[in-house]
Amino acid sequence: SNTAGSDGGALYFDISEALVSSCSIAANTAIGSGGGIANSGTAYPVQADLLVFNSIIWGNDSSDTATLDENIHDGNVDLYYSNVQGATTGVETTSVDPQFVNINPTAGDIDVRLASSSPCIDAGYQYFLPGDILDADGDGITDEQVPFDAAGAARIVGGELDQGAYEYLTDSTAPTLEEVQHIDDTTLLLFMSEAVDPTSLTTATFTLSGGATVSGARPGRFPHLVYLDTSILTECTTYT
């Protein structure tokens, strides 16, 4: 969450043709307009447009009186496959409680992952995902779609894209171990079948056969890699 002294609690665009895709924008505040997003000004030759794809914009606060303006203050916004509080128009767009894990700061840390009962699960449209121009998965392919969500987990689970920044994961979609590499005397590198949620990495997540114990777990360079810090490893021993 964020607080702005003027307009745009989370995002402010001025004379911009702006695109917001696969974002979760919640619990932000603006002293002026647009607690979530404010887009103002005129981009010649037309009014500045704001396009919103596959996003959740909810629970933002500002000086605006209309609920939609508290979340998005823009005279020319087009919504697609999104959940925006106060919205009454848009393509496959709703205004229903997204059921985040928590957006109440008095109840703990803000957590905009989706609860299991969220209506935003499988409610997006995967063909609106942006391209993987930075090669996030390191496979050398940059003309594919972004493969990971904001936590580094698989971007599409269950057949269709979830709205917002995070894909809902269940135990049935947990990644499995594909390969183990021995890096040094106290480090193993795990290659997983899917991207791993970095928040799930604890020593309790992993056990090793071969006599070694796990003292730490940390994400690798790419989301499907995990480093394990271990007790002294024995040469020529296979660890699984």
pLDDT, residue 41, reads: 61
Nearest in space to 121 (alpha carbons), one of 174, 58, 167, 175: 167
Residues in Cβ contact with 139 at an 8 Å cutoff, skipping those fewer than 6 apart = none
> pTM (2 decimals)?
0.73
What angle is formed at CA 178 by the lines to CA 164 and CA 213, rounded to 5 degrees? 100
pLDDT, residue 58, reads: 97
Residue with tokens 């905009």: 112
pLDDT, residue 223, reads: 67
pLDDT, residue 16, reads: 76
pLDDT, residue 21, reads: 96
Q: What is the pLDDT along the chain (240 residues), one digit of tens a residue?
A: 889 999 999 999 887 788 999 999 999 999 999 999 998 765 545 556 889 999 999 999 999 999 999 999 986 889 999 999 999 999 999 999 999 988 886 777 788 999 989 999 999 999 999 999 988 877 788 999 998 888 877 788 888 999 999 999 765 556 777 778 888 888 888 877 766 776 677 776 777 777 788 888 887 766 677 888 888 776 655 555
Tell me the CB-side half-sphere exposure of residue 135, using CA atoms within 13 A.
6
**What would the two tokens of residue 125 be?**
């449209």
